[in-house]
Amino acid sequence: MNNGNVIDLNEKKQNGFQWRGYIKIGIFFVILIAILLIFLTNIYIVKEGEYKVVRQFGEVVRIDKSPGLKYKIPFIQSVTTLPKYQMTYDVSEAEINTKDKKRMLIDNYAIWRIVDPKKMISNARTLENAESRMEEFIYSVVRSELGQLNYDEIINDEKSSRGSVNDRVTEMVNELLAKDNYGIEVTDVRMKRTDLPPENEESVYKRMISERESKAQEYLSMGDAEKNRIVADTDRKVKEIISKAQADAEVIRAEGEAEAARVYNQSFSKDVEFYNLFRTLESYKKTINGETVIVLPSDSPYAKLLMGNP
């Protein structure tokens, strides 16, 4: 009996040692897995086109700019992301007054990027705050620059100096941002739309219609004046042509009459009786027709010719 009890106690001791070994191994693997998880969860990737901002107790301690795998201290450091690429910001529509005292609505957009993340975080804190400050500067500069131009110069593409205005606005906004150390840069500011305030549209449309009607009337008056000039010039030329033709006709007629008189004289000189007969017959053509009644004395030339006694 005693030997059996001793054997049982030895077996229990061996089993206890085995279980304690298993527990130690399990604890080791748990600790190893926890360490691996902590290590893996504190590895981060810096991608192309982004900044990784590492903070420790809320303070920026490092900014990773180059792509690759990075590691942060567990529990006491955190990582946030900022874009490195260019971004587009739609500036709020704003009302300005032009040089000729006209009101208009301006709608701009800006292309911008972060050039110094540490300054941006230190002075603007967030992207939203940075965009808000940028918008304030853009509105101020645009209002100042366009306030030096007349309304027609802004909306009329042929007379507009908008291209140089956009360049000046971009340059001046960047100067203001650099002065306050916001760590951002505006690549371009562009005007995408210009409108009139709703209360001014109707009056402007009426003025435009009036100007167009006035211009149309001016063109009509110019057309009428040109028409009258052409008609007067044509009438003058026609009268000159007719006068010249009449003068030429008188000359030709006079020459014909002179020639006829010459021929008559030659004929009369050759045969006086034949000439008298011819002239008498010619007069008959003009004085006698089918209804003519002539009363002639017996000794008249007509009567003699008709009676065969010339």
Residues 14-59 pLDDT 10s:
666 667 767 777 787 888 887 777 777 788 889 988 999 999 988 8
pLDDT of residue 172: 93
Identify whether 254 is part of a domain. Answer: no
Identify whether 119 is part of a domain. Answer: yes
Identify whether 147 is part of a domain. Answer: yes
Identify whether 125 is part of a domain. Answer: yes
Higher pLDDT, 16 or 269: 269
Q: How confident is the model at residue 188 (pLDDT cuts 50, 70, 90)?
A: very high
CATH code, domain carrying 101: 3.30.479.30
Mean pLDDT, the chain, whole residue set: 81
Per-residue pLDDT for 220 more than 70?
A: yes
Look at residues 166, 195, 224 and tell me which one is the last residue of a structural domain: 195
Is this prediction's pTM over 0.85?
no
Q: How many domains does the chain have?
A: 3
Q: Lowest mean pLDDT: which of 23-37, 43-57, 109-123, 223-237?
A: 23-37
Alpha carbons 120 and 79: distance in angstroms, whole number: 16
Look at residues 161, 195, 229 and tell me which one is the last residue of a structural domain: 195
Residue 174 near residue 126, CB atoms below 8 Å: no
Per-residue pLDDT for 175 more than 90?
A: yes
Alpha carbons 113 and 50: distance in angstroms, whole number: 11
Shared domain for 137 and 191, answered yes or no, is yes
Please give the residue range of the domain that contains residue 121.
87-195
Q: How confident is the model at residue 309 (pLDDT cuts 50, 70, 90)?
A: low
Identify whether 200 is part of a domain. Answer: no
Phi first, then psi: give them for residue 112, nearest 5 degrees. Answer: -145, 170
Identify whether 218 is part of a domain. Answer: no
Alpha carbons 11 and 3: distance in angstroms, whole number: 13
pLDDT of residue 201: 60
Shared domain for 18 and 105, answered yes or no, is no
Shared domain for 36 and 98, answered yes or no, is no
Give one DSSP letter per residue of 10-37, joined into a string: HHHHHHHHHHHHHHHHHHHHHHHHHHHH
Look at residues 195, 213, 237 and tell me which one is the last residue of a structural domain: 195
Average pLDDT over residues 139-160: 77
219 contact partners, CB below 8 Å, separation of at least 6: none
145 contact partners, CB below 8 Å, separation of at least 6: 165, 168, 169, 172
